[in-house]
Structure 1
Amino acid sequence: MRVETLGDGDPEVAIVGGIHGDEPCGPNAVDDLLDADFDIQRPVKLIVANEEALEEGVRYLEEDLNRAFPGDPDADTHEGRLAHELLREIRGCDILSLHSTQSYAAPFALVDEMDGYARSVCPYLSVEAVVETAGYSTGRLIAYPNVVELECGIQRSAAATENAKQLAREFLVATGVLSGETGSGRHHPLPVFRLERQIPKPVGERYEVFVENFERVAEDEAIAAVDGEELFSETPFYPILLSAYGYENEFGYAGDLIGRLDGDEPAVPARESASARADGRNR
């Protein structure tokens, strides 16, 4: 793990990249910040977490670091030990964790819940949505206080790196590390979704996804296919982190639109809540 500090004093703000070794956008953003000539108002800690996995270009060496928290100094796996070390390093900090995905090209934020920290940071970032992970945060860094995780774009893409660089700077302005006006250039309202359930992926060899993330899926709509056999929604929902090959055992998640950061309630009938089953039956 590489740890650098900008500014004088004990940092209360941290940016973490490289949780996954196949997501170089975060480490690239860290290097960009280190190369810049900033007038630092508050000290900030910059971390590249899983250097070994990054060097090999793999997601992880022995277990997924973002499922290994809190870790243990005597864990059997590299990532288990690293999770403990990383938590110790960022304790007491306001944290931004940079990631990329196979599911969606535009940046979006994930939080455990829409608490005061999330509300103080997310409106000032150039993201299209915020997702509450709630019951799906176990083992992840966002299960801990004052963490916002950003999906910066498509994995290994140049666009994801450029997005990560911009988002990191916006975060530093929002947290007072850098001077400047806060503002993402995105028009409010910022939609807030909540993960409700996983969409299982049956065993197969060839997978397809037919729906777009964050766009409402109607009842009985074809959402995906496994070896040419289509799967259909049982109730309306919003796809989140859906991709053909991003996860081993699920396509992604069904979610609800639960509100907006301007305080308005979503204009979606209650009967169309995605908290109802959306497990992708076939027919």
Structure 2
Amino acid sequence: MRIYELGDGTPEVSVVGAIHGDEPCGERAIERFVDEEPTVERPVKLIVANEEALDAGRRFIDEDLNRAFPGDPDADTHEGRLAHALSREIRGTTVLSLHSTQSYAEPFALVDEVDAVTRSICPHLPIEYLVETGRFSEGRLIEHAHTVEVECGLQGSEEAAANAYWILRAFLSATGVLPAPVAGDTEPPLSLRRRDADEVVVFRLLDQIPKGPAEEYRVFVDNFQRVAPGDRVAAADGEAFSADTEFYPVLLSANGYDDVFGYAADRVGTLA
């Protein structure tokens, strides 16, 4: 675990990258930011979490770190011990966790539940969608109070790394570590700016969409877009299934997970 602390005093804000070793965007964003030697208005801690998995180019060494929290210092697995150490490092801080995905090219955020911290931060991030995970948060870092997880783009892409950097900066501005952007400041690329800068659409996960053993998988619907009853959703080895009820797909992809295609969600409102 590689840790940078900027500013004087005890940090109440932290940024975590490389929870998964095959998602380098967070590490790249942190290193880019630290290399700039920025002046900060309040202290912040930046953490590259799973260095071993990152160096190996693997999602994890022994188990998925983002299913291992809060961890145990005497765990038999590398990630179990690391989860405990990381939990101690971020204790008492508001956290941004940077990830990437195989399911969706544009950044979106996930939280355990929408609370006051979510409402104060997420409308200031360059995202269009926010997902409340609820009972699906077990073992994930977002179970830690005041944590926002952002999927920054497609796994391994240059776009995800660039997005992660600008999301990091937006988060640090929203939490008072950096000053608020002013006219004339360098801005993120146009592709990262939300189409509607006045609101973030909020979804709540309802259920998983199971995926049985097969050689080939396909999906026929788009993430965050309404699926009507009867619409074809996905197929395994050519055998397709359709929606029984209306839902919105989240983290839906052919090969992102071993045993599920992704999640079904409900659209529950907006944050302004």
TM-score, length-scaled by structure 1? 0.91
Per-residue deviation, residues 239-272 of structure 1 (Å, max 9, x unmatched): 000000000100000000001113xxxxxxxxxx
Letter in 1 for 2:162: E
What is the CA distance between 1:185 and its match in structure 2? 4.9
> What is the aligned-residue identity percentage?
59
Instruction: Tell me the distance in 2 between the aligned counterparts of 1:132 and 1:205.
Output: 32
Instruction: Describe the SS at the equivalent of 1:109.
Output: strand
Letter in 2 for 1:167: I
Instruction: Describe the SS at the equivalent of 1:86.
Output: helix
Report the equivalent of 1:276. none
Instruction: Tell me the distance in 1 between the aligned counterparts of 2:42 and 2:146.
Output: 17
Report the equivalent of 2:162. 162
Instruction: Tell me the distance in 1 between the aligned counterparts of 2:232 and 2:198.
Output: 31
Instruction: Tell me the distance in 2 between the aligned counterparts of 1:130 and 1:137.
Output: 14
Letter in 1 for 2:57: G
TM-score, length-scaled by structure 2? 0.94
CA RMSD in angstroms comes to 1.2
Rate the CA distance shift 1:38–1:134 in 2: closer, same or farther, 3 A.
same
1:250 is aligned, of 248, 260, 266, to: 260
Superposition pairs for residues 50-69 of structure 1, below 5 Å?
50-69=50-69
Instruction: Tell me the distance in 2 between the aligned counterparts of 1:11 and 1:189.
Output: 29
Instruction: Tell me the distance in 2 between the aligned counterparts of 1:189 and 1:123.
Output: 6
Superposition pairs for residues 36-185 of structure 1, below 5 Å?
36-181=36-181, 185=193
Structure 2 unmatched ranges of 5 or more: none
Report the equivalent of 1:214. 224
1:196 is aligned, of 197, 200, 206, to: 206
What is the CA distance between 1:5 and its match in structure 2? 0.7
Instruction: Describe the SS at the equivalent of 1:172.
Output: helix
Letter in 2 for 1:260: T
Residues paired across the two proteins, number: 262
Instruction: Tell me the distance in 2 between the aligned counterparts of 1:166 and 1:52.
Output: 26
> Where in structure 1 do 4 or more consecutive aligned residues deviate above 3 Å?
181-186
Per-residue deviation, residues 200-232 of structure 1 (Å, max 9, x unmatched): 001111001111000000111111110111111
Instruction: Tell me the distance in 1 between the aligned counterparts of 2:104 and 2:62.
Output: 26
What is the CA distance between 1:181 and its match in structure 2? 3.3
Superposition pairs for residues 1-20 of structure 1, below 5 Å?
1-20=1-20
Whether the 8 Å contact between 2:123 and 2:199 is mirrored in structure 1 is no
Instruction: Tell me the distance in 2 between the aligned counterparts of 1:92 and 1:214.
Output: 33
